[in-house]
Amino acid sequence: MHIPGIHHITAISGAPQVNHDFYTKLLGLRLVKKTVNFDDPQTWHLYYGDETGNPGTLLTFFPFENAAEGKAGSGMASRIGFAVPGDSFSWWVNRIAESVERFDPPSERFGAPVITFVDPDGLLLEIMPLPGAEDLPGWAHGDIPNEHSIRCFSNATLLLDDGAETAKLLEVMGYEPLEKDGVFQRFAVSGTGTASDESPPPSPTVPAPFIDLHIQKTTIGRMGRGTVHHVAFRAENEEEQRQWREALLQAGLRPTEVVDRQYFKSIYFHEPGGVLFELATDPPGMLIDEDRESLGTGLQLPPWFEENRHWIEDRLPELRTR
């Protein structure tokens, strides 16, 4: 078994309207699901992704109107990278420079250009070209021209004091260590490349191929507005998820029991460096309660919340979507 990549990444934001407008208008992602935090149904849970919310494209948020500011620190995911076609990178540099107040000039990491910027809540984001990204679907009807649309995640970066044990776990999960670049160490989904100069580029059929470890002694972080809550990896089905759970237990980790998240089944565990990981099944996916055309247009609730729909609707913060 090996993990086929990132399934989704979940973060915490402030006001839901500000969050929605930034990710759908400025970044051009599609709002594919409006639901609630299953552990706090008075809070939205918003899913953004490609046209159908495929695994590897899903960025989700718990927006809290009055959330305290968070701070990324040791044992947390600190950066989220988006992949675009190579010919689109300069277009995105111009868009970020014109539209975002806080950004760094383009730089190079692992031999490829990258631009780093922050969202309205302080979450650190990156855009980089990914070989083969032009062959992946994006969201063709958003505010971004289709040829420039974000295709998927390129990577997630984990901030760690010492990445040795995390690196071992990633290799157990099927990731291959690639090259180092200063304080960064890159791992790739099995089969998408090696550290060799002759290695093929990441396959366009495998979105979100990279996990980067940022090794730096730092203070303990604080979960809050502008921080990543967890990184979820893909399990192709429930049987594979069950096998992974047994493997994690044998590795001395403490995964939870399976939790029904309506659009996937999940287990959660902390990796050795402290980052919260999730293992989520690919099915059933975003289309179980809305068709392709209407994704993200209505409040979708799991069956166990339906009898309280009016109570929940009255308490959710206002959110205007298109």
What's the CA gap between 99 and 281, in Å, rounded? 36
Q: Provide the 10 A C-beta neighbour count for residue 10.
A: 20
When mean pLDDT is compared across 34-38, 171-175, 195-199, the lowest value belongs to 195-199
Higher pLDDT, 140 or 159: 159
pLDDT of residue 143: 87
CATH code of the domain covering residue 38: 3.10.180.10
Q: Is residue 263 part of a domain?
A: yes
Residue 11, judged by CB atoms within 10 A of its CB (0-12, 13-18, 19+), counts as buried
Question: What is residue 192's predicted lDDT score, i.e. its pLDDT?
Answer: 64
Better-predicted residue by pLDDT, 142 or 180: 180
**Contact predicate 111/99, CB 8 Å:** no
In the chain, how many domains are there?
Answer: 1
Residues 186-195 have a mean pLDDT of 74
Burial class, 70, CB count within 10 angstroms (exposed 0-12 / middle 13-18 / buried 19+)? buried
Q: Is the per-residue pLDDT at 195 higher than 90?
A: no
Q: Assess whether pLDDT exceeds 60 at residue 208.
A: yes
Asked if residue 322 belongs to a domain, the reply is no
Q: What pLDDT score was predicted for residue 202?
A: 52
pLDDT digits (tens, 9 = 90+) for 216-231: 998 889 999 999 999 9
Assigned domain for 107 exists: yes
CA–CA gap between residue 209 and residue 248 (Å, rounded): 21
- pTM of the entire predicted model: 0.95
What residue type is 156 in one-letter code? A
Q: What is the pLDDT of residue 279?
A: 98
Tell whether 242 is covered by a domain.
yes
Position 321 in a domain: no
- pLDDT, tens digit, 9 for 90 and up, residues 277-286: 999 999 999 9
- DSSP assignment letter at 239: H
Distance CA 29, CA 227 (A): 19
Instruction: Answer yes or no: is pLDDT of 212 > 50.
Output: yes
Domain that holds residue 170: 6-315
SS3 93: helix
* Closest C-alpha among 193, 159, 196 to residue 175: 193
> Beta 58-63 vs 6-13: how paired, if at all?
parallel
- CB-based contact 152:57 (threshold 8 Å): yes
